[in-house]
C-alpha cells in the first residue's frame, strides 16, 4: 500500500486527469490523504445507436464515477473531503461514494445546499457531516492547512484551494476563469494569487479545459449584452436553454426579460432547484420576478420568455418534450425562437440535432451560440492568456495540468513552460506525482477506472 512519509508531498488523481469529467484528486503527506472533489461523468454509449435505430437516446449514456477503491481501502487515513464548487464533475459522485469514505465534507454555503438537496434524494440523507466554510478561511485537516481563495467560474462560490504542509505548499486552482464582471459574486481579484509569488508555491495543479484556446474567455457581462441585443428584436416567444447551474446566466436572462417587457417562466427540475437555492442563499436579486409556467400560455408571444432545461438534447428535459409536443404546459409553434445559451458538449450532437429537427419541422427557428453573431455563451474555463497570467502571478516550481484530455494537458504544460515554469508533468489518473522531496512522476502506481452509478 502506498503511504506518504513525513518527507513526502504527493498528488494522486483517481479521476479527471487525462479526461474531462469525474474529478477526484488526492494529496498525500505524513501518512494522511486529503480528497479534493468527487464528481461524475457520462460514459460512452453502452449500446450503439444503430441497434435501436438511433431512437431512445436516454438509455445510451450511463453515469459513472471514479473507482475509489485505493482510498476507500485506507479511509482511516483520509482526513477530509473538500468540494471546490457545485458542478456535477466535482460533486456528483459524493452521494453514491460517501459511504465508502465516511469522513467530513468541507465546502461553502451554496455548494453545501446543492449537496444537501442531492443527499436528500439518496440513501445517505442526514448522514454526511458537512462543514460550511467561508471564503478566505483557513482550516487544518490532519497535516494539511487549507486556505480557500475566491475565484471566478460559471457557478456561484467557486474556490481555489491553497494547501500548506511542512514540506511544501501547492495551489489547487480547481475550475476557474478571469471574469471581471461575473454578474453574480465578486469580480476576479488577482491580489491573492499575486501574493503567492513571494510564498514559494511548490506546484500549481490546474484547469486545462481551454488551454488550447487563444486569448481570454468572455465575461458573463458580455453574454448579458449579447443576449439582450439578440432577444430585443424578436417578436415571437423566446425559449432559452442553458446550463441550470449557471446562476449568473439565469440572472442575466431574468434581467433581459425585464428590459424587453417579457414575463419569465422556468421549465425543468434542475432549473427550479437552482433558482430555489439561489433565492435561499440570497444570490437572486429581489426585483427579478419569475411567473408560474402555467400563466405564460395566456400572454401574447412578445411578452413571453421561457428558460428551459435540455441544452444537451436530453430526451426527458423540457426542451425535448416541447419539441416533441409532449410537454404538458407548452406547445411551440411557428414564430417561436429557441436560443442555445450553451455549447453542445462533444458526444451530444446527435441528441441535440434530433431536437432541432423536430423544432424546425414545427417552423420554430433555432439559434446556437456557436452560430450567433453576438456572444450568448461564455465558457467558465481559462484560455491561454488567463493561464499565462496565473503562472506569472503564482510562479510555481512545478506545473501539473489536470481537468482535461491529453491534448488539453499538453497545451497547458506548453503555456507553463513558456512562462518559465521549469517542471511540468503531463500524466493521467493513477499516476503518482511526487512533489517533495524530489519532484518526479511515477506512472500508473494505482489502478483506476470507472464504476457505474444509479442516479435517482
Give me the residues that bind Zn ion (CB under 5 A), please. 87, 89, 175
| Closest separation in Å from C-beta 207 to Zn ion | 7
| Closest separation in Å from C-beta 425 to Zn ion | 20
Q: Which is nearer to Zn ion, 381 or 434 (CB)?
A: 381
Q: Which is nearer to Zn ion, 8 or 89 (CB)?
A: 89
Cα(179)–Cα(187) distance, integer angstroms:
6
Q: Which is nearer to Zn ion, 87 or 255 (CB)?
A: 87
Q: Which is nearer to Zn ion, 40 or 307 (CB)?
A: 40
| Closest separation in Å from C-beta 362 to Zn ion | 34
| Closest separation in Å from C-beta 221 to Zn ion | 19
Q: Which is nearer to Zn ion, 20 or 72 (CB)?
A: 20
| Closest separation in Å from C-beta 45 to Zn ion | 22
| Closest separation in Å from C-beta 91 to Zn ion | 10
| Closest separation in Å from C-beta 360 to Zn ion | 32
Q: Which is nearer to Zn ion, 30 or 89 (CB)?
A: 89
Q: Which is nearer to Zn ion, 109 or 439 (CB)?
A: 109
Residue with grid cell 494529496, as numbered in its chain: 27
Amino acid at each position: 500500500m502506498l503511504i506518504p512519509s513525513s518527507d513526502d508531498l504527493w498528488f494522486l488523481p483517481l479521476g479527471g486527469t487525462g479526461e474531462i469529467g469525474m474529478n477526484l484528486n488526492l494529496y498525500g503527506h505524513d501518512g494522511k490523504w486529503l480528497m479534493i472533489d468527487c464528481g461524475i461523468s457520462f460514459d460512452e454509449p453502452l449500446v450503439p445507436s444503430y441497434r435501436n435505430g438511433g431512437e431512445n437516446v436516454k438509455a445510451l449514456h450511463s453515469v459513472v464515477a471514479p473507482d475509489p477503491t485505493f482510498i476507500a481501502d485506507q479511509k482511516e487515513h483520509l482526513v477530509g473531503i473538500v468540494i471546490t464548487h457545485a458542478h456535477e464533475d466535482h460533486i456528483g459522485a459524493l452521494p453514491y461514494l460517501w459511504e465508502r469514505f465516511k469522513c467530513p465534507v468541507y465546502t461553502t454555503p451554496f455548494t453545501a445546499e446543492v449537496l444537501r438537496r442531492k443527499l436528500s434524494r439518496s440513501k445517505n440523507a442526514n448522514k454526511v457531516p458537512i462543514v460550511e466554510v467561508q471564503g478566505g478561511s483557513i482550516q487544518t485537516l490532519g497535516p494539511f492547512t487549507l486556505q480557500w481563495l475566491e475565484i471566478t467560474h460559471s457557478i456561484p462560490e467557486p474556490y481555489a484551494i491553497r494547501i500548506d504542509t511542512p514540506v511544501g505548499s501547492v495551489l489547487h486552482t480547481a475550475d476557474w476563469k478571469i471574469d471581471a464582471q461575473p454578474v453574480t459574486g465578486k469580480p476576479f481579484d488577482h491580489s491573492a494569487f499575486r501574493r503567492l509569488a513571494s510564498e514559494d508555491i511548490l506546484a500549481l495543479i490546474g484547469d486545462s479545459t481551454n488551454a488550447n484556446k487563444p486569448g481570454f474567455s468572455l465575461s458573463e457581462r458580455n453574454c448579458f449584452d449579447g443576449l439582450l441585443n439578440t432577444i430585443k428584436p424578436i417578436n415571437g416567444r423566446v425559449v432559452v436553454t442553458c446550463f441550470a447551474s449557471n446562476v449568473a446566466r439565469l440572472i442575466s436572462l431574468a434581467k433581459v426579460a425585464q428590459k424587453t417587457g417579457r414575463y419569465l417562466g422556468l421549465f425543468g427540475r434542475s432549473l427550479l432547484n437552482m433558482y430555489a437555492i439561489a433565492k435561499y442563499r440570497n444570490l437572486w436579486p429581489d426585483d427579478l420576478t419569475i411567473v408560474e409556467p402555467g400563466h405564460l400560455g395566456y400572454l401574447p408571444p412578445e411578452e413571453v420568455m421561457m428558460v428551459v432545461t435540455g441544452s444537451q438534447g436530453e430526451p426527458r428535459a423540457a426542451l425535448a418534450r416541447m419539441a416533441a409536443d409532449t410537454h404538458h404546459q407548452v406547445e411551440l409553434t411557428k414564430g417561436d425562437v429557441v436560443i442555445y445559451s450553451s455549447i453542445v458538449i462533444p458526444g451530444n450532437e446527435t441528441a441535440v440535432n434530433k431536437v432541432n429537427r423536430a423544432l424546425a419541422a414545427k417552423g420554430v427557428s433555432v439559434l446556437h451560440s456557436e452560430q450567433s453573431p453576438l456572444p450568448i455563451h461564455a465558457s467558465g474555463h481559462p484560455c491561454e492568456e488567463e493561464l499565462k497570467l496565473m503562472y506569472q502571478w503564482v510562479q510555481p516550481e512545478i506545473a501539473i495540468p489536470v481537468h482535461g484530455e491529453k491534448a488539453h494537458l499538453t497545451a497547458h504544460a506548453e503555456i507553463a513552460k513558456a512562462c518559465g515554469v521549469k517542471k511540468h508533468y503531463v500524466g493521467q489518473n493513477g499516476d503518482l506525482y511526487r512533489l517533495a522531496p524530489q519532484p518526479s512522476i511515477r506512472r500508473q502506481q494505482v489502478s483506476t477506472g470507472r464504476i457505474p452509478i444509479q442516479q435517482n
